[in-house]
Chains A and B, each alone.
Chain A
């Protein structure tokens, strides 16, 4: 199966759910292997579920809520707000850098 290499970064306290490590290099399937979207190119929605199943260590409800990234978590795709890139439907490319930052931790 073909894979995509990505750089993932967590900030704003989210890193605590991911072994307290901010930067991760991962290789994910380039197409969705199973489920309703089987065979579709991997997008951020698929990535977030993959991260939950493969990288997340605790409290998944703080990362995913009703099928997508929990409100209050900012996502950047190659340093651009994901709201400009189609949000969860953004199709991932080799060497993309995806950043997740929680805004929900104390100020």
Chain B
């Protein structure tokens, strides 16, 4: 096949077919359009203001590595005036997270950003290795997901940042829309396409890659030769998400716009007033101060079930019953009380 020239500059050889538009473009134009689209997303959603302290949730994987690189590039190019930090969570998974954290440490030097690492062990007293040895591999993704969310907020609070940005891309969001539909999770379906979320008192989170296709993120990392880590978690991956992912990839192969179309559908859903009224309102966890829709937040309730030697989350009702029987262990580990953004003095770790 004769080499095609770029649809944008009409000059250089095309190296990529854009999944969003079908255009054939060259390497230079690809870098420009990819970066410019992320910039446009940031500007249109008013994600930042000058002087903001922003933590990049960094796992060492492809999305967060490209996000760190692009945030640094755009912050310099368009003078956003942001102070950028890398924030990583150490789940305590030997042979997986310890290796990917090495990648983040290299990123810290390559991008010249301070890095803070929050560990499950320090915060909850449990590594994921220990969680899995106690409860097995079946539910461990639930524990890890709940623990990670709160760990990121606490790490961000320690850094005194205004906002956390994460590397969630268009494929991730489309996948989440599908999962929420399939699970009938109306509350999350309404929220999951928001580019920016903010729980009460909690730190703002946003997704600058909301409209960026995974294919383009991976191609960007490849052509820029970015250093990222890619190994599956050694504990069973989230099977339900895996099915949604495989289904989405099949749809994309047949019609590449499927991903952006699903996001648009998700954005267009609006909850009827009577449905919204049935959704639980947010409150503060009675034990640790984190946002919660029950007396205890999910992390506290999962931690309590671990401490009690149970394998699933304990309900408010179940807990009250046990407490009434005087069965609360005296020395039970709890999570330190959360004071959002109170400690700006915390220094980033090396």
Contacts and interface: CB of A to CB of B under 8 A. Distances in A.
A39 interface: no
Interface of B: 1, 3-4, 13-17, 24, 59, 61-64, 167-169, 171-172, 214-215, 218-219, 222-223, 230-233, 245-246, 249-250, 252-253
B231 A13 contact: yes
Given A71-B252, A84-B4, A86-B1, A106 B232 contact: yes
A33 interface: no
Given A101-B222, A107-B63, A71 B15 contact: no
Nearest to B231: A13
B5 to A, nearest CB: 11
Contact of A105 (B64, B168, B231, B252): B231
A101 B225 CA distance: 13
A23 interface: no
A105 B17 contact: no
Which 8 pairs show the lowest CB-CB distances between chains A and B? A107-B63, A71-B249, A13-B230, A83-B17, A72-B249, A105-B230, A71-B253, A107-B61
A32 interface: no
Q: DSSP class of A's interface residues: helix, strand, loop or mixed? A: loop
A74 interface: yes
A84 B22 CA distance: 10
A85 B62 contact: no
B67 to A, nearest CB: 9
Nearest to B222: A101
A104 interface: yes
A90 B3 CA distance: 13
Contacts of B16: 80-81, 84
A9 B266 CA distance: 37
Contacts of A81: 15-17, 219
7 contacts: A12-B62, A71-B249, A81-B17, A101-B218, A101-B222, A105-B61, A107-B59
Residue among A11, A71, A85 with the highest chain B CB neighbour number at 10 A:
A71
Interface residues of A, number: 25
Contacts of A102: 230
A107 B231 contact: no
Contacts, number: 77
A76 interface: yes
B61 A106 contact: yes
B66 to A, nearest CB: 9
A86 B4 CA distance: 12
A71 B231 contact: no
Contacts of B249: 70-72, 104
A101 B246 CA distance: 16
Interface in A83-107: 83-86, 90, 99, 101-107
A36 interface: no
Contacts of B218: 12, 74, 101, 103
B59 A71 contact: no
Contacts of A53: none
Contacts of A84: 1, 4, 14-17, 24
Nearest to A12: B230
A92 to B, nearest CB: 13
Residue among A85, A104, A105, A106 with the highest chain B CB neighbour number at 10 A:
A106
